[in-house]
Amino acid sequence: MKLAIIGTGNMGEALARGIVRAGLVAPADLTLTDVVTERVKALATELGAVAGPDNCTAVANADIVILVVKPQIVAGVCREIGPILPAGCPLLVIAAGITIKHIKTALNRDETPIARAMPNTPCLVGAGATGLTVEPSMPAEKRETLVRLLSAVGIVEEVPENLQDAVTGLSGSGPAYIAVLIEALADGGVLMGLPRPQAMRLAIQTVRGSAVLLQETGQHPGQMKDAVSSPGGTTITALAALEAAGFRHAAISAVKAAATRSRELSGE
């Protein structure tokens, strides 16, 4: 399989590394392009991939193309590569707020199967969460290939396109919410006397360990909460303080606000 990745910023680089590490594409069959030529050449050299001279050359013989660029230049790149894309070559676009309809219009190639995805920054360490939308005309084997490629950097959840904004609000923007939570927990530890580095390590591991426990046991979060909430104890007292401060409502409102903004940006 010949794969072209247009755009080797943080997300494009993470995908390239994950895909090569997983052995899904031979390095020599991976072509990378980016406007920052020094960056793409360095990455291609490190991975054993090909640094494409331009986007059209990169996609000319590709079996799959992944476009990972800023939303405002997606249409321009699509217009550029549209006439060159091989027949039946799927195009996966990773850009917030860019709909399949917009991509189709810019490509001017109705026969090109289109998919869009919203990964998040933990993809950089192979622990991402990605929402994937594939248009109905995508052949099943191509859809399965896209899932495998994205799974190289984390989990993949297939969603209808009208739920991509919800994915953006939850997992796309979610790392920022968790970062604020970790910082606040560490601040609480410092307030109560812990040295800052120690408080930060404990906060990070607490969030990480709790997530792994939920993931591996399949427990409902409420079960975990109840298991550590002794009658009249420290945890239930802390939970009461969180409820009084509107912690749950704030988290739900954050997801809703980000999803609403994503919908506004898409113009839908």
The whole-number pLDDT of residue 41 equals: 96
The whole-number pLDDT of residue 268 equals: 62
Give the architecture-level CATH label for domain 172-266: Orthogonal Bundle (1.10)
The region, left, alpha or beta by phi > 0 then psi within -120 to 50, assigned to residue 159 is: beta
Q: Which CATH superfamily hosts domain 3-167?
A: NAD(P)-binding Rossmann-like Domain (3.40.50.720)
The whole-number pLDDT of residue 40 equals: 95
Q: Taking the alpha carbons of 87, 113, 139, 47 in that order, is the dihedral positive or negative?
A: positive
The whole-number pLDDT of residue 161 equals: 95
The whole model's pTM is what?
0.91
pLDDT grade for 225, boundaries at 50, 70 and 90:
very high
Express each pLDDT in 239-248 by its tens digit. 999 999 999 9
Express each pLDDT in 28-44 by its tens digit. 999 999 999 999 999 99
Q: Do domains 3-167 and 172-266 have the same CATH topology?
A: no
Contact 74, 67 (CB under 8 A): yes
Residue 266 has pLDDT above 80, yes or no: no
Rounded CA separation 19/26 (Å): 9
The whole-number pLDDT of residue 187 equals: 98
The region, left, alpha or beta by phi > 0 then psi within -120 to 50, assigned to residue 206 is: alpha
For residue 227 the two structure tokens come to 């298991």
Domain regions of the chain by residue span: 3-167, 172-266
Rounded CA separation 3/138 (Å): 17
Higher pLDDT, 111 or 196: 196
Q: Which residues of 111-134 are buried (b: 16+ CB within 10 A; e: fewer)?
A: ebbbbbbbbbbbbbeeebbbbbbb
Express each pLDDT in 51-60 by its tens digit. 999 999 999 9
Tell me the mean pLDDT in the region 72-99: 94
Express each pLDDT in 2-31 by its tens digit. 999 999 999 999 999 999 999 999 999 999
Beta strand 154-158 with 128-134 is parallel
- Cβ burial, residue 11 (10 Å; 0-12/13-18/19+): buried
Express each pLDDT in 93-146 by its tens digit. 999 889 999 999 999 988 899 999 999 999 999 999 999 999 998 999 999 999
Rounded CA separation 104/159 (Å): 19
The whole-number pLDDT of residue 137 equals: 86
